[in-house]
Amino acid sequence: MKDYTDEEILEQFHFNFQVMYALGIRNLGEVYLAERTLYEFRRRLYEYTIGHPEQEDLIFHQFRKLTEHFMAIAGIGSREQRMDSTQVQTNIKLAGRLSLAFDIVEKAVRECTSAHLPAALKPFAEPGFRNQFLYRCKTKETLGRIQELLNQCVLLLDIAKAHPESLQKETVALLQRFLQEQATYPAEKKQWIAKANKDIAADSIQSAHDPDVTYRKKGRQGHVGLVANVTETCANENPVQMITHYQVEKNSGSTP
């Protein structure tokens, strides 16, 4: 709701009494939350989903179980329901083109054999370089940094050609797709040049870790992420209404 980063979430959790109160915590320092807890929780969910593709989604299973319990206690009828849609973002770092470009380069660098990395790429494997490169970047420097990362993508592709064993095919394909979607190659410039925002297609990649995330406009607002179709009860006799079902799809097309 607040669009917090992980760092901001932890700060609010530990020092904002309103956030603590909403979570049922009444005293400062009563409960601690570690950064690794967030990462490990997401990792375990992801690994379970990949390892059990035919099984029901764990989060949806918990949602349905709690919903049925609350509806039974509150006496909420579900004969009448309505459906709506909303734009959502995945819980992955989607802080714009600069962050996306950094993620793609960093992912490839960490996979590449260090012996084949030139000096210009080695900082991407160092802890803390993300903060230096992204979070301390001024607005006027953004386009220049995007261009710099495009040049790093070209370097990585050159490494892949010279040393095919250094990068996996999926990573090479990701680098190639990113360049083709985010840049042009004018013959007179003899290098990849970043496109303007308006020239980037709606189905272009939005995450180095989730290629299905896309861009879509709904009304006058643009959205990066996914579209969620939601159903909820709507009978007048219900004391409150509750969401009963949801389904998440790519947002590059109209809601079915």
Segments making up each domain of the chain, as ranges: 97-199
For residue 255, the model assigns a pLDDT of: 46
Per-residue pLDDT of 81-98, as tens digits, reads: 999 877 655 433 334 678
Residue-level pLDDT at 93: 32
> If we measure between CA atoms, which residue out of 185, 199, 196, 126 comes closest to residue 157?
185
Beta bridge partners of residue 86, listed in sequence order:
228
Dump the DSSP string for 198-248: GGS-TTS---SS-TT-EEEEETTEEEEEEEEEEEEE--TT-SS--EEEEEE
Q: What is the DSSP letter of 122?
A: G
Report in angstroms the alpha-carbon separations of 242 from 61, 70, 214, 231, 232. 16, 9, 29, 9, 5
Given this model, what pLDDT does residue 52 score?
A: 78
Sign of the alpha-carbon torsion through 89, 103, 95, 256: negative
At residue 90, φ and ψ (nearest 5 deg) are -70, 160
CA distance 20 to 175: 42
Residues pairing with 243 in the sheet: 232
pLDDT digits (tens, 9 = 90+) for 41-94: 877 877 777 677 777 788 888 899 999 999 999 999 999 999 987 765 543 333
- Which residues in the chain come in under a pLDDT of 70? 1, 3, 50, 87-96, 135-140, 197-198, 202-203, 206-226, 250-256
